[in-house]
Structure 1
């Protein structure tokens, strides 16, 4: 028997999908039967990864696509499973990660008129008017499979849209009768459904950009996710070394520029201070960045020349967004950089000016590095986020992948981890917490030979559904190391409140309703669910030994979770550690 469900699975395989991250339900008999028949007949289909929670399923597909650029599929149960993906679909959409999500739907017949007609109580309860509407604000495309005669075309069209810039998730749904329908096998030519070609800069305006760049005395480049294409990193290095242009990463969720390059001048997160280089710049080239600066805290001068190049320069899905810019370009950063570098090949460059700027920026880079080292040694009686990150950095090699979901410690991690290899560092790129666990599984599936280290806050760790994550890591042999920056609470709401009410009542009473006291046994959760090796570290002197043990366990094939206590969200230790660090820098 050849059904719509069979054709759907075949279409995924034909399109190059390797994994289906699945949370199956009563709407998926055709999928389950087709998988069983394929197994019996030794026919290859995408491998199914059972995911006890939909948020983790989509986070794993997200992580796989980030690491490889290759789209994977997620299958969930009707509108309930769709809603359970919640924050994960926000993450995939906002960070422009391609993924195909398929959900079944309640049967639309109830008297046995068609194969798959209603036969369970839940089929009435899960029938809703607009299931696709749940996803419409967070997907590039949605459609309903109504027949098996064109299901392959629908799948390939959805994948084409998902993979075309700006990439993102797509959503297909199919009621049970449609998926159970017997149909004829058809063949679709995959090469006719490729994503659209990368966009380039208009030739006439390349010359103007190059001239403005060459005439600038203090040029600057700001980026956030240019590193999604490794070749773009190479082109950026070429440009920056040729003209001695400093690079700042704003909330980086890729390795965009090697930290050991003299032109790398750090990153910022929600820093409540003006960045020196941004304030002094007379020209800024923004490449792939949604939020290159936060105007209430940190912004360029009013007389600056800004060029903005991005795969999504209008941010049409952000109701409030604007950055005054001389030119906005909807272009692929790799293609644009290749064009700019080619244009500069034919131009005369003032080497004296470039040489002087190189010396100045190199000195700035070295000062930043010295400041980071001082921060890492500050607070000898506590484990600061900077020291913890420095200790993790010592474990890294060229085959390490770092995940950063440290939230209030995001900046400390992105600055102190000092990533240098394209594809070695990732953040979620969005705002719904918990991405770290599923993403680590997806990245480990993509690169089994690499060491995956997830750096997460205790809040983000809890949001990741660690019981599901570590059960999956054990079952599918994807061991990774989790390091928890445990301040026993949500520090972000506290910081936000103080940002608006620095002298308010909440500050006076020091009660922000965000602490996790008494603390949970976070490492123990992973041990119980997936036999991960649990370690809790409360003393700075025991940190390096714990990290070494955790890494050893991972390399031997067992996940490890190291719960590291840093200054409490409510304690004076947090404030004192920051004060000590600043005094050390001075």
Structure 2
């Protein structure tokens, strides 16, 4: 036999989970005692930042991250980014300390009355083991569930005195992660796609997540149809310089219906059907247009209001569908997508100009992590993404994701420049992550788009026809001082002619660097009115 602590460390080694993201407390000291030299502990200064870093690391590596939080209050701080990790399908095993078992009947300090219930429903599996000796097996179970598609976070609550208990080691196991699609449904889908005269393909984040990007490109080229990115796609869905790429769907039912109205078949790959943010007339679901849906996500399949959903790993589904299609469809390729002309400099700096210059400054293999939702249409126009694994954002609306996620991605990919594009409002949700980036000297450029407020709220006020909404202006923030207080150099740019030098310096920095760009506060248009 061995101890629970030793069994857990041996298990983590066998699973390749030797990087631990955490924020420690007294109930975790039994786990942290005599920290092994072959493990890396990544300290975050607030639990939401810890989860965001683990999320970015997990999504960049394709492997579940291990997280150690502090008791109930610490998990409570983290829940916003736990929700985001669930929506992002980011695999991770979250552990949190619990008060000693002997004290639990007496409502002790730091005790969680219903620890396993606390993070539900935004974890795939949650448990506080009934016995100390069950802790290693519970963590193994949590890892396998986190890595079962669709990926996601899991949770294990560990009482403080469990780590020294005796237990049997947990052997490493192999559990299949891929599920093959129904061959009959794939054959039926192939017949429908081949017969369509004006098909369209809508692609989402599961493609990049599964490493199925090249298979997706081959399928699209076999079909010869225009390709659109699904609403709120949290990763690169299709190379945005490809001749078949036709643009982005917005999260409004009427706008989606109008974009798809001219087509006689819609093939949706790796995305829900569809993610909406505002109400409206979803005429596409009443039109009778066939919708064929390929996904790994059973919940997305169950919630689709129309069409045929085929469950299966995309790395198996996409080649299977392509093999059943004819070599040449004879379809006329879509016309080249119109690109906006380069924006002109002005004062104050237009957001479009900032994003155009950022695109020119970024290295070819840079990874962009974005949380500037009011500027997303401008980013999509000015910063075309081309490489798989080069773009990440959040699938949820919870703010405070991008900066810690960028830190986690930089820890996972230290050989590449990571660029965090973040709004001024978003930046204030998890600024603590900058400190971690400084401690690890990560190649991270943080570009804060400062438009003096919550730009998305300003835009929604127009969409929803509301007026005089309080709490949307953010005067008096100094992001350069904030960064310098954590050891990160920064520069504030207020004029267009200063921009190129500041961005170039941030891209050359051997550690993290911040650029605060003060931009025009003009209200962007996020969605067509529904």
Q: Deviations over 1:48-101 (max 9, x none)?
A: 112221111111110011111011111011101110102110011111110000
SS in structure 2 at match of 1:124: coil
Instruction: Give 1:18-97 correspondences, 5 Å limit.
Output: 18-35=18-35, 38-39=36-37, 44=38, 46-97=39-90
TM-score, with length taken from structure 1? 0.83
SS in structure 2 at match of 1:27: helix
Instruction: Give 1:442-453 correspondences, 5 Å limit.
Output: 442-453=408-419
Output the CA distance in 2 between the equivalents of 1:287 and 1:427: 19
SS in structure 2 at match of 1:73: strand
Instruction: Give 1:543-558 correspondences, 5 Å limit.
Output: 543-553=499-509, 557-558=510-511
Match of 1:113 in 2: none
**Count of paired positions:** 522
> Does residue 285 of structure 1 match 2:267?
yes
Alignment gaps of 5+ in structure 1? 111-116, 579-586
Deviates more, 1:473-482 or 1:272-281: 272-281
Instruction: Give 1:278-317 correspondences, 5 Å limit.
Output: 278-290=260-272, 292=274, 294=276, 296=280, 300=284, 302-315=287-300
Match of 1:334 in 2: 315
Match of 1:252 in 2: 233
TM-score, with length taken from structure 2? 0.92
Instruction: Give 1:38-187 correspondences, 5 Å limit.
Output: 38-39=36-37, 44=38, 46-110=39-103, 124-181=108-165, 183-184=166-167, 186-187=168-169
Structure 2 CA distance for partners of 1:96 and 1:420, relative to 1, 3 Å: same
The Cα shift of 1:159 comes to: 0.5
Structure 2 CA distance for partners of 1:293 and 1:436, relative to 1, 3 Å: closer
Structure 2 CA distance for partners of 1:512 and 1:265, relative to 1, 3 Å: farther
Match of 2:3 in 1: 3
The Cα shift of 1:541 comes to: 2.2
The Cα shift of 1:348 comes to: 6.4
The Cα shift of 1:322 comes to: 4.0
Q: Deviations over 1:378-431 (max 9, x none)?
A: 574442222222111112334210011111112322342111110011112222
1:389 to 352, 355, 369: 355
Match of 1:243 in 2: 223
Structure 2 CA distance for partners of 1:297 and 1:481, relative to 1, 3 Å: farther
> Does residue 219 of structure 1 match 2:206?
no
The Cα shift of 1:260 comes to: 0.9
> Does residue 492 of structure 1 match 2:477?
no
CA contact (8 A) 1:309 1:329 kept: yes
Q: Provide the aligned C-alpha RMSD in A.
A: 2.6
Greater helix fraction, Structure 1 or Structure 2: 1
The Cα shift of 1:272 comes to: 9.1
The Cα shift of 1:574 comes to: 3.9
CA contact (8 A) 1:404 1:426 kept: yes
The Cα shift of 1:126 comes to: 2.1
1:470 to 420, 426, 434: 434
Q: Deviations over 1:286-322 (max 9, x none)?
A: 1121353647277637131101122224349x9xx54
Instruction: Give 1:191-230 correspondences, 5 Å limit.
Output: 192-194=173-175, 196-229=176-209
Output the CA distance in 2 between the equivalents of 1:174 and 1:264: 48
CA contact (8 A) 1:260 1:420 kept: yes
Q: Deviations over 1:88-138 (max 9, x none)?
A: 10011111110000111112325xxxxxx99xxx98232232121111211
SS in structure 2 at match of 1:394: helix
Output the CA distance in 2 between the equivalents of 1:19 and 1:2: 22
Match of 1:582 in 2: none
Match of 2:513 in 1: 560
Alignment gaps of 5+ in structure 2? 526-530
Match of 2:528 in 1: none
Higher-Rg structure is 1
Deviates more, 1:384-393 or 1:78-87: 384-393
Match of 1:480 in 2: 444
Output the CA distance in 1 between the equivalents of 2:233 and 2:381: 10
2:473 to 512, 515, 534: 515
Match of 2:497 in 1: 541
Structure 2 CA distance for partners of 1:69 and 1:62, relative to 1, 3 Å: same
Q: Deviations over 1:5-41 (max 9, x none)?
A: 2322222122110311111111123212242xx44xx
SS in structure 1 at match of 2:27: coil
Output the CA distance in 1 between the equivalents of 2:249 and 2:188: 29
